[in-house]
Structure 1
Amino acid sequence: MKNVLQADQAVEEKAIPGLGAVARESLQERVYQELARSLMHGVFTAGQVLRMQALADTLQVSIMPVREALARLVSDQALEMMPNRSTRVPLITPARLEDLASVRCLIEGELVRLATQKIEEATLESLREMTAACESAFEKPLDDEQLNITSGLNYQFHFTVYGAAGSDVLLPIVRSLWMQSGPFVRASALVYGRKPSMTAVHHHWALIDALAAGDADASVAALHNDITQSFNLLRDEIAEGALDE
């Protein structure tokens, strides 16, 4: 009996009240969120094969949480499994462009319509600052660093608008759509970089003006023009053979 009591006391001395064991899923969730963020920000390119060991080394984790996160992203349709069991970012194809563009216009357009009636002046000023910064970034050569800057600012701009809508239901849907289209947005940014006569943020300015005026129809139209312009650039590139499908 004495030995049992001593054992119980030893356990109690080692335990820290209020502190539970870290679940393995928590690490997998962090890996998943980081990979999802990278996809939405256009860190990965269309067709890029994601090798588990390289990802694990970069994230400084073991293979297991990376494998589980990649499986979730395949389920989200943000990545695809190849016949050899490797995982890659989906290729850019006309059919996928059409599908993503139409669904993004539908869902994100509704968020913009909701945001038009709720957005505050301080948020509009932040949107102006982001757009000016993105405009300046596009004036520099689009190397990997500049691409990450423009992609990050573009993401921040859109999700600031969508956050103003106040819809907890629609926002996760948009995140899923952005995981799928982030690599395509990165590809379109490269096209903008090769065509200095085109502006990548013209429709952002139009959207800000429409939001400031409280014009929901004009806000939605500006968003649709922003989305379709980028996707149309990629369609043209495919048609001209400048972009591999």
Structure 2
Amino acid sequence: MADNLQDQLYQRIREGLLAGRFQPGERLKIRDLAAEWGTSPMPVRAALQRLVAEGALEGEPQRSVRVPPMTRERYQNIFQVRLGLEGLAVELATPRLTAANLTELRECVARMDQAIEQRQVQAYLDANSQFHLHLYSACGNPVLLRSIESLWLQVGPFFNRLFTGADLSLRLNDFHEEAFASIEAGDAKAARQAMEQDLTYFARFLLNLLDLEPGQR
């Protein structure tokens, strides 16, 4: 039972990191999380330590844990790796997708459009992470998928810190729509190209915002 609870807490925190629900530099207090989720500190501590071991969180003195801060250099390094890995994942996944997969991806694109129109940042980030990770999960290569998820755990918190409702550009979903059209047509090369364009546009968008933050110029 304890292991099952630890797994549930691990998944909850992990999903929060992937979807940008935590902030870079944010300290995660074990007792506060335990109180919020109605459990003892022990399974929370164990779940956090698993994420520290994966590089998604950082351990600090006195057993505290925080979300790693993000710098321009660190984001650029992660982006370079993401571009190659995620492009490959899209190309591998495209011929393997089922009708159910396509329905899920189509719904994610629609939710992103709606979130942009309504200026709902977290709804956009949730649908964005679901679109990408659902697509990549069909790549058929578990090593590739684990590598991608590890990178997303590191950049997810950065997305939310830099977004405000006013920052939701209407272009943010263009490349998702292009990628999905290519996926639906079975054109793996075109789908990869559209996804790489999406990642590049998104990176430039975030880096431009990061340049406006104090201490990052």
TM-score range, shorter chain: 0.7 to 0.9
CA offset at residue 196 of structure 1? 5.4
Kindly indicate whether residue 194 of structure 2 is the aligned counterpart of residue 222 of structure 1: yes
Residue in 2 aligned with 1:169? 143
Q: CA offsets, 1:81-103, max 9 Å, x none?
A: 23454211111201220122122
Q: Which amino acid aligns with 1:36?
A: R
**Alignment counterpart, residue 151 of structure 1, candidates 112, 125, 128:** 125
Structure with the bigger percentage of helix: 2
SS in 2 for 1:106: helix
Instruction: Name the % identity.
Output: 36
- State the one-letter code of the partner of 2:187: D
Aligned amino acid, residue 88 of structure 1:
R
Give TM-score scaled by structure 2 length.
Answer: 0.88
**How far has the Cα of 1:175 moved from its partner?**
2.2
Among 70, 73, 88, the residue aligned to 2:51: 73
Report SS of the residue matched to 1:29: helix
> What does the per-residue CA deviation read over 1:56-86, in whole Å, with 9 as the maximum and x for residues that have no partner?
1112111111112212211111111234542
Provide the C-alpha distance between the structure 2 equivalents of 1:111 and 1:243, rounded to a whole number of angstroms. Answer: 35
Residue matched to 1:233: 205
The structural deviation recorded for 1:216 is 2.3
Offset of 1:148 from its aligned partner?
Answer: 3.0
8 A contact 1:28–1:65 mirrored in 2? yes
Give the whole-Å Cα distance in 1 for the aligned partners of 2:148 and 2:71: 21
- Find 2:90's aligned residue among 104, 112, 116: 112
For residues 55 and 106 of structure 2, the distance between their equivalents in structure 1, rounded to whole angstroms, comes to 33
TM-score normalised over the length of structure 1:
0.78
* Structure 1 residue aligned with 2:33: 55
* Gapped regions of structure 1 (runs ≥ 5): 1-21
- Indicate the residue corresponding to 1:194 in structure 2: 166
Q: Which of 8, 19, 23 is residue 45 of structure 1 equivalent to? A: 23
Q: How many residues align?
A: 217
The alignment yields a C-alpha RMSD, in angstroms, of: 2.3
Where in structure 2 are there 5+ consecutive unaligned residues? none
Bigger drift between 112-121 and 81-90 goes to 81-90
CA distance in 1, matches of 2:161, 2:92: 29
